[in-house]
Structure 1
Amino acid sequence: MATTHKTRMLIIGSGPAGLTAAIYGARAGMEPIVVQGLQPGGQLTITTDVENYPGFRDVIQGPWLMQEMQAQAEHVGTRMLWDTITEVQFDGWPFRAIGDSGDVYEGDVLVIATGAQARWLGVPGEQEMSGKGVSACATCDGFFYRGKKVVVIGGGNTAVEEALYLTNHASEVVLIHRRDSLRAEKILQDRLFAHPKVSVLWNKAVERFAGETGLQTVELVDTVTGEKSQVATDGAFVAIGHAPATDLFKGKLELDASGYIVVEAGTPRTAIPGVFACGDVMDHTYRQAVTAAGTGCMAALDAERFLAERDFEAAKG
């Protein structure tokens, strides 16, 4: 039998944004429910070494950090439920979400923290080498390649920005692009081409990431001639963009051209009063665990204020 779960604050997603919102919401007495989704804990559960989350002098493990966040959220009164939301209804209060299990979740406010996923190439060796030389986040992992040679795959703003960032750490950065021109903004291209540490391999597609215990070479094919080649490297960064997990909200909330939820500038507020978005689902610029946690805090604070104002108006009659 399907069950209806009711709460003052319903949170969809259980990464740093969702769990931080839950911690603040629980401490405000809203008894939040977190529906964890397909990847409980978010992207950090597939991230090994984390060195840039404040509060830890030594390298910590992503899965451990998310376990601790969840334990903290539960300790202060959050209910964690294992389900995947397949439908949302915003046409009245309370907001409703229907799970794959058939259960119904009702919340006086809704916090969306469904995150985003890096787009991958889908070539052999990519997933096997993830965390062993292959990454999708230069800001997260660039520090581990100080004085080493790295490659960046892609041709848009993301790829060029990652390549330029990596010049702060790596001794050599090779940008690999499957076409003969970049899609990135001209000012970024000018900076890239002027940098002495950067070189570009044009018309090259990645066929395979290879190595013994870790990445050693990237195998390429020329997209014009079909000629095979390879480049030796210590690390490879796949930078072909991110895909926000917003399919559930198409036609229900305003999304930008890249699929991210549109919020009021500087806030987690969506166009629907009482519906808030936080973390990577609305942030196409920073995409860091610490910024996700920050916007989760903002969402919870705004949600608490929203409910307080609504309750006050209702009490006045």
Structure 2
Amino acid sequence: MYKSIVIGTGPSGLTAAIYLARANLSPLVIEGMEPGGQLTTTTEVENFPGFPQGILGPELMDNMRKQAERFGAEFRNGWVEEVDFSKRPFKVKITGQAETLEAETVIISTGASARYLGIPGEQENVGRGVSTCATCDGFFFRGKKIIVVGGGDSAMEEASFLTRFASEVTLVHRRDELRASKIMQDRARDNEKVKWALNRTPLEVVTDEKGVKGLKVRNNEADQEEIVEADGVFVAIGHTPNTKFLGGQIETDEHGYIVVKPGTTETNIPGVFACGDVQDTKYRQAITAAGSGCMAAMDCEKFLEGAMVHDWSETLDM
């Protein structure tokens, strides 16, 4: 029986683990088979406070993990395949393990996975010219040409943001019509740095020995292949929150993000909390994820204190 189980790592889960461990709650952190979350795929993080020269993403996550371990957090590898939140103690089942874990509280920090195009040259160049986060990586492309792939509001927003750094931003979309709202489209179209390559299907990220050189696309109207030259490719086709394993037991919005009580990390089930990108549809930054991890741990600690007082009161009544 654990006082608290944290499902997922990344900045939110590891921060929650640090705070829980320092409160002598000895949390168990189930970190999945790819510990550290999306930051482990980032070469350099320059916007996390406290590192004036920047820090490698994997190094930052490793430091946070060691900090949690120092205070007594326990870590276990594996995917959570099933949970039972119908009553306390809550039950957590890890794939391939016969043991069912039990906990008084659970913090969900499983994040949201960026959607990728699934084309050659994409995955192997993530962090090396291919990105899914303009706020994180735009600075590295100052004065360079950039491609943004997507047709929704997030693509328009990222294209407009990247014009602060890039000399030119080309927006590639496989259809000739955009899904983005009119106000977001107008904002992008009014920006003279934004160029358009509509009705073009991405086929391959083109590279050479120095890095990304562009994007091979099919011009659907002309029915021929062409290369859009660029120094970086930003994929902006949305994120998928990692909530499928919850089996519908936690309230989510229409896109699958966990709904929390405003100003807290509380879910619809008392004793279950959510932090980081799994409940954040707006900011999706390492620092905001870490902040919500702190909130989740403090909400969790307060809940446990209340539960302990309640249990003790019942004992006295008997």
TM norm structure 1: 0.96
AA partner of residue 292 (structure 1): A
AA partner of residue 179 (structure 2): R
Q: Is 1:252 paired with 2:245?
A: no
Structure 2 spans left out of the alignment, 5+ residues: none
Structure 1 spans left out of the alignment, 5+ residues: 1-5
Distance (whole Å) between structure 1 residues aligned to residue 249 and residue 24 of structure 2: 28
Q: Of 179, 182, 189, which residue of structure 2 is paired with 1:186?
A: 182
**Equivalent residue number for residue 21 of structure 2:** 26
Q: Summarize the alignment of residues 196-275 of structure 1 with structure 2, pairs less than 5 Å apart.
A: 196-213=192-209, 214-275=211-272
Q: Is 1:50 paired with 2:45?
A: yes
**Equivalent residue number for residue 114 of structure 1:** 110
What SS is found at the alignment partner of 2:17? Answer: helix
Could you list the runs of 4 or more consecutive aligned residues of structure 1 that deviate by over 6 angstroms after TM superposition? none
**Equivalent residue number for residue 70 of structure 2:** 75
What's the CA shift for 1:88?
0.1
What's the CA shift for 1:147?
1.1
Q: Of 282, 286, 290, which residue of structure 1 is paired with 2:283?
A: 286
AA partner of residue 106 (structure 2): L
The number of residues matched between the two structures is 312
AA partner of residue 171 (structure 1): S
What's the CA shift for 1:59?
2.3
Map Cα deviations across residues 195-251 of structure 1 (whole Å, 9 max, x no partner).
111111110011111111200121110233322111111111000001111101132
Backbone CA RMSD of aligned residues: 1.0
Q: Of 150, 155, 160, which residue of structure 1 is paired with 2:151?
A: 155
Distance (whole Å) between structure 1 residues aligned to residue 224 and residue 247 of structure 2: 42
AA partner of residue 137 (structure 2): D
Distance (whole Å) between structure 2 residues aligned to residue 153 and residue 98 of structure 1: 38
**Equivalent residue number for residue 88 of structure 1:** 83
**Equivalent residue number for residue 141 of structure 1:** 137
8 Å CA contact retained: 2:242, 2:278: yes
What's the CA shift for 1:171?
1.2
Percentage identity across aligned positions? 50
Distance (whole Å) between structure 2 residues aligned to residue 228 and residue 179 of structure 1: 15
Distance (whole Å) between structure 2 residues aligned to residue 38 and residue 303 of structure 1: 25
What's the CA shift for 1:54?
0.7
What SS is found at the alignment partner of 1:110? Answer: strand
Distance (whole Å) between structure 2 residues aligned to residue 238 and residue 313 of structure 1: 50
What's the CA shift for 1:157?
1.1
AA partner of residue 243 (structure 1): T
Distance (whole Å) between structure 2 residues aligned to residue 153 and residue 17 of structure 1: 28
What's the CA shift for 1:65?
0.8
Distance (whole Å) between structure 1 residues aligned to residue 226 and residue 204 of structure 2: 11
Distance (whole Å) between structure 2 residues aligned to residue 180 and residue 210 of structure 1: 23
Map Cα deviations across residues 45-95 of structure 1 (whole Å, 9 max, x no partner).
111111111100112111111110100000011011122211100111111
What's the CA shift for 1:103?
2.2
AA partner of residue 119 (structure 2): V
What SS is found at the alignment partner of 1:151? Answer: strand
What's the CA shift for 1:29?
1.4
What SS is found at the alignment partner of 1:215? Answer: strand
What's the CA shift for 1:108?
0.6
**Equivalent residue number for residue 276 of structure 1:** 273
Distance (whole Å) between structure 2 residues aligned to residue 56 and residue 208 of structure 1: 35
Distance (whole Å) between structure 2 residues aligned to residue 121 and residue 146 of structure 1: 24
What's the CA shift for 1:13?
0.5
**Equivalent residue number for residue 12 of structure 1:** 7
What SS is found at the alignment partner of 2:305? Answer: helix
**Equivalent residue number for residue 3 of structure 1:** none
